[in-house]
Every structure is written in C-alpha cells, then in structure tokens.
Structure 1
Amino acid sequence: MFYPLRCIPIYKEKVWGGRNLAHILHKELPQGIAVGESWEICIHQEGRSIIGNGQFAGRTLEELVREYPEEMLGENHKIYGENFPLLIKFIDANDKLSVQVHPDDAYALVHEGSQGKAEMWYIVYAEKGAKVIWGLKKGVDRQTFEAALKKNALEEVLEEREVKTGDLLFIPGGVVHGIGKGIILAEIQQNSDITYRIYDWNRRGLDGKTREIHLRQALEVIKFCNFQDEVCQETITSGQGWTTKIYSFCPYFMVEAIEIEGTYLGHLHGERFEIVICVEGAMQLIYGEGKGEDFHRGETLFLPARLGDYGIKGKGKILKAYTERKST
C-alpha cells in the first residue's frame, strides 16, 4: 500500500528569484514570474504538498500523515505532535538574498508561537566565484555589529565564503547568513519559515515597496560567537557501489550525502520516514515486488516509514534526510 511519494512542487515568486530551476534542474515553472523557491516536501501554513503519483495522487501529504501517522512517520510519530518536522526546498538565488537570521526554538516559541529554524544547504550549482554569508567575522560582538550597521558598513563584519557544487553548510538559529547571486541549493530545515531581515541591499519588493527589516528581533536572536568549527560531526561509510557521508548537525535532522554508482540498499520497517533528494545524475528507486520510481537531479521523494526494503540504482548523488528524535 505504501510507496515512494512524489509531491507536486510549490513554486514561490521572489524578488531575487529567476528561471534557473527550469534551465538547470528542468522544472516546469509557471510562466512570467521570477521563481526563487520550490517547496518540495511541506506541511506548512504557507504550503501543503499534494501527492502527484500513485493511488494517493491528488491527496495532500498532510491528509495521509493524519490518516496513517505510524505508517507514514514511524513508531515514534507522537513526538511530533501536530507539527510535521521538516521542510524541503530548492532555492534559486538569481540575485543575492537579504542578510538575515532565524530564531532558535526558545525565542520562536515565546515570540512567534512556533518552532525555530535550523537549516542545511547543499550547493547544487554555483557560478564561478559565487559566495555565501556564513556567520560573522571572528571577534565581532554586538557593539561592533551595531556600529557597522550605523555607518552602513555591515559587509565589513560578515564572514563570506566562496562555494562550489557539492559544498554543504549548516546554519543553526541565531547565525547571520545570506545566499549570494548565482547559486542553486537544496535546503533541509526545521518546519518554520520565520526570517528576520537585517539588510536587503536597498532594493524594493515585488510590490514596489521597500521590504520590511527586523533589526530589533535580529539583534535579540543573533549569537555573537564563532560556530563554524563546531557545527557538524561527519562519519563516512561505504559499500559495493556506494559511499555515504553521514552528517550529524543538530537534534532536528540527520543528513546523508550518498554517492551511488551501482545500487544502494535501504530499509524502512516502521522506525522512521526518509526524504531523498537527487542532486546529481539520474536514479531509479526500486521497492515492493520490483516496482520502480525514476527520479533525477532536482527531484524529491518522500519514503513512508512502512515502505519496506528498497534500492536506489543508477549513477549520481542523493541527499537522504530523516529525524532521529526518540520518544521519552
């Protein structure tokens, strides 16, 4: 009954977006708008995934999770309460995004009535010389940061990093960040869309008005510390035809980057759900009695907890995301 679910992407128009999700990832975008985000897997007030394949086609992922919570999410589904834990996106930065920060859980619960937002970026495509903002320069404290804001010299305190295809970065709540021009990335994150803008390059939004800045909230949540050297534990495993890097970022999700040249085997017998994102090449996911679901770079599949044994065959690279939270 349960099979790999292919959700219909939800496209978001953004002032910094473009058409590269069509040109590079071959997505069928709506005409006439600059698309900045493709929400791949979501159960959120701003977007609810609709199933596009198989017997559940036309139903929402939210309906299936409510109707079959254990079969869809796993034996510990009750720990999520009413909140689906993850939100999966592709982002097209045709222009640079704002300098911004997200709150952590503690702040978001009190001030927004929501969970916070930790996120991971995987660089799917980057133009030569493309950069991201990833934290603050060493030694920058609140006083230094506010002084840079006042003299319109924020870039002096921002830590920039040049990126290339295959790079992977983690951004916990409280870390100042921004995506530069010429980048497509896959984003795995907590199921929250709270963003506090710090600086937006003096541009106007889609409505022609200056976009809102949230300096008070941003200053309350920014963590003035150096985090880059401590954010991730990496474990490498391999088998015949595949190599996996397992990244342990935070309590909210785990990510595996799996390079496949042959067949990778997975097993889902009720413990958890998984989300697989193809970031390179073309694959076929085999499940059940020899059934198959093709997917290629730029496509995402939700794998229910009761899917059973499966194999991913082909040549390329996938990201596999899941939660490791346990009931108490």
Structure 2
Amino acid sequence: MSEPLFLKPVFHNKIWGGRKLETKFGYKIPDGDIGECWAISGHPHGRSLVENGEFSGEFVDDLWNNHSELFGNPKGKVFPLLTKILDAEASLSVQVHPDNDYAWEHEHELGKTECWYIIDAEPGSYLIYGHNAKNKEELDTMIESGDWDHLLRKVPVKTGDFYFVPSGTVHALNKGIMALETQQSSDTTYRLYDYDRVEKSTGKKRELHIKQSEDTITVPHVDPKLDIVTKTEGKNTFTTFVQPPVSPYFAVYRWEIKEPVTLRHNIGKYTLISVISGEGKITVDGKDYDLNKGVHLIVPATVDSWTLDGDLNIIASESGEE
C-alpha cells in the first residue's frame, strides 16, 4: 500500500477551551468550550479514523494491530504517538505527567513526555515551565502551603517557539496560546493546582492529584538542553527541534516548503504530518493529494518517498522507538 493515510480529528470539550479550532483552523467542532483536537491518535480516548483509500473507515490503532507493515513492523503493543492541537482560551491546570514505569504501575498505560510548537501566542502570553524548589523537602513544603508564586516558573512565550516537556516536568499552557503538541500516547495527567475552578456539571472543584504529583515531579528542575538545527535547501527550510537521544520517544521537525522537495523515510520509519498553515500537495507513487491548513496524515513505512509542493508550514514527527 503506497498512499498516505488522511485522518479525521476528534475534539474534546475542556473547561479552559474556546472556539479558535473553528475560527482559526476551520474545523467543524461541537458546541461548547473545545480545547483539544486529537489529530493523530490511536488512544482509546480519541481514535483517529482514516478517511481515504484502501483503509478508509479504519482506526489507527486497528491498523497498528492488524497491518503492522504500515509502521515498519514495530515491537510496541500500542501506537506510540499522539498529536494534538490545543486552544487555551483560559489557562490549563498546573500539572505533571509520570514516566513509563510509574504510569504502567499506577495507570496501566504509557508515561507522557510531550512537546509544544507554539502556533499562536497573544502578547504577554507565558507558560508554567518547571519549578524553583531546590530539593524534595522544599517542593513538598511549598505545595502544601500553596506557595505557587514562589514555586512555579513563568516563562514568556511567542509564536513559533518550541518547548520540550519531559515526564516529571511541572508545566501548563496559559491563556491566549494555541499549540501543536506531540506526545507519547497517554492520557494521564496529575493536576497540581487548578485555580480553584469548579466543574459546571458537578458544581465541585476539579480533582487534584497532590500525592501523584509529589511522587513524579523531577527535583530540582533542569531545563533540557536542545540542539535545534535549521538548514535551508533552495527555498525550503527544515528545522529539527528534538530527536533521540534527548527525546527517546519522538523526533519533531518543522518543514517550511516553498518549492517542490522529495523526502524519504529512514528504513522502517513512518511519518506524522500536520499542516499548520498554507496549502499545497503531497505526491505519492505518482498520485497527488491536496494539503491545506488543519490537515493531518500519516505517511506509512510502506511509502519509500514522497514529494511536497506548495506554500506549506508543516510540523512532522517520527517515533523514536523501534
């Protein structure tokens, strides 16, 4: 099978969500505060459906299990990556994610290392990224006393920035930010602080996970050292944001396409593609497929090469696992 797999997004209502997935990306979204577009997913909480070709109507996780050749016959039991677009109309909870060992033991799923490409950030936007506690005792004391102003690190952010968020990192997207998130396929989030917000459906404050957070937060916080590399080929620009060994689970790239370029997989690899802006086409095996803003697809391992053409801003990723 030599064709890309175009995917239908799944949308999730969130207390912090808004309507920008509709106004900025043109998605048909449900009513309410929609915070997340699960764009490429095999996770049971939001399964992506193939919309074209031989496998039209099948879910990504079923293809992973029944047609492993599409993914280079990997060893893993689950499709390992999840691509989202997040619309933070309000600030997300301050949170942390567990590593694989803790998540398997307590949640029976993968841990969650993730990263953000900032699609849009309003003036004055910032992230919560890391903390200021010097040791575990100081961390626990600051959490228990609610000393959030001194504990949490606020980092200014702008459109086009990239942040790598390993498991164990205290973090939050704050209001006014849209981001594309590449992550391990996990839906485990431990809320550390949530501004005392109340769920409309229950009238109660949202659940916090203080013990799990204290168990899993990395102390002290150390910013990961990224070696971001940008190269220009003709009119096209290719940026590598993160890759193994810094990120064991995925590599993430930005491709700014202005003229035709032919790309190839490493042996046994497959590529996840999300079009952030622009329009153009992808050509596989002599057949053209339209690309435009908000389209998400997988180029399977059975495709040796493909050509991109047009005016396209793409975030692409590959699994770091065999």
Structure-1 residue corresponding to 2:9:
9
In the alignment, structure 1 residue 85 sits paired with structure 2 residue 84? no
Query: Hey, what's the Cα distance between the residues in 2 that align with 1:152 and 1:58?
Result: 48
* Mapping 1:11-50, distance limit 5 Å: 11-30=11-30, 32-50=31-49
Structure-1 residue corresponding to 2:296:
300
SS at match of 2:98: coil
Once the two structures are superposed, what CA deviation does each residue of 1:16-65 show, in whole Å capped at 9, x if it has no partner?
111011111111112x2111101111111212111122332222222322
Distance 1:73 1:206, change over 3 A: farther
Structure-1 residue corresponding to 2:52:
53
In the alignment, structure 1 residue 287 sits paired with structure 2 residue 284? yes
* Mapping 1:177-216, distance limit 5 Å: 177-207=171-201, 208-216=203-211
* Equivalent position amino acid for 1:143 in 2: E
* Equivalent position amino acid for 1:128 in 2: P
SS at match of 1:109: helix
* Equivalent position amino acid for 1:122 in 2: Y
In the alignment, structure 1 residue 314 sits paired with structure 2 residue 310? yes
SS at match of 2:5: coil
How far 1:110 moved relative to its partner? 2.1
How far 1:262 moved relative to its partner? 0.9
How far 1:122 moved relative to its partner? 0.4
Distance 1:140 1:280, change over 3 A: farther
- The size of the alignment, in residue pairs, is 318
Whether the aligned pair in 2 keeps the contact of 1:241 and 1:263 (CA below 8 Å) is no
Once the two structures are superposed, what CA deviation does each residue of 1:206-229 show, in whole Å capped at 9, x if it has no partner?
42321110000100100012321x
CA RMSD of aligned residues (A): 1.7
The equivalent position to 1:176 in structure 2, one of 164, 170, 173, is 170
* Equivalent position amino acid for 2:302 in 1: R
Query: Hey, what's the Cα distance between the residues in 1 that align with 2:146 and 2:96?
Result: 18
Query: Hey, what's the Cα distance between the residues in 1 that align with 2:225 and 2:208?
Result: 28
Whether the aligned pair in 1 keeps the contact of 2:64 and 2:78 (CA below 8 Å) is no
SS at match of 1:193: coil
Whether the aligned pair in 2 keeps the contact of 1:269 and 1:306 (CA below 8 Å) is no
Query: Hey, what's the Cα distance between the residues in 2 that align with 1:303 and 1:253?
Result: 15
Distance 1:161 1:264, change over 3 A: farther
Stretches of structure 2 lacking an aligned partner (at least 5 in a row)? none
Query: Hey, what's the Cα distance between the residues in 2 that align with 1:313 and 1:50?
Result: 25
How far 1:66 moved relative to its partner? 2.5
* Equivalent position amino acid for 2:149 in 1: E
Query: Hey, what's the Cα distance between the residues in 1 that align with 2:309 and 2:279?
Result: 9
Query: Hey, what's the Cα distance between the residues in 1 that align with 2:211 and 2:64?
Result: 37
Whether the aligned pair in 2 keeps the contact of 1:101 and 1:174 (CA below 8 Å) is yes
Whether the aligned pair in 1 keeps the contact of 2:61 and 2:78 (CA below 8 Å) is no
Q: Give the TM-score normalised by the residue count of structure 1.
A: 0.92
Query: Hey, what's the Cα distance between the residues in 2 that align with 1:151 and 1:223?
Result: 19
Once the two structures are superposed, what CA deviation does each residue of 1:63-83 show, in whole Å capped at 9, x if it has no partner?
32223211x101xx3321x21
Structure-2 residue corresponding to 1:241:
235
Query: Hey, what's the Cα distance between the residues in 2 that align with 1:41 and 1:52?
Result: 12
Once the two structures are superposed, what CA deviation does each residue of 1:173-218 show, in whole Å capped at 9, x if it has no partner?
0000011001111000001111000010001124232111000010
Query: Hey, what's the Cα distance between the residues in 2 that align with 1:62 and 1:217?
Result: 28
SS at match of 1:47: coil
Whether the aligned pair in 2 keeps the contact of 1:270 and 1:306 (CA below 8 Å) is no
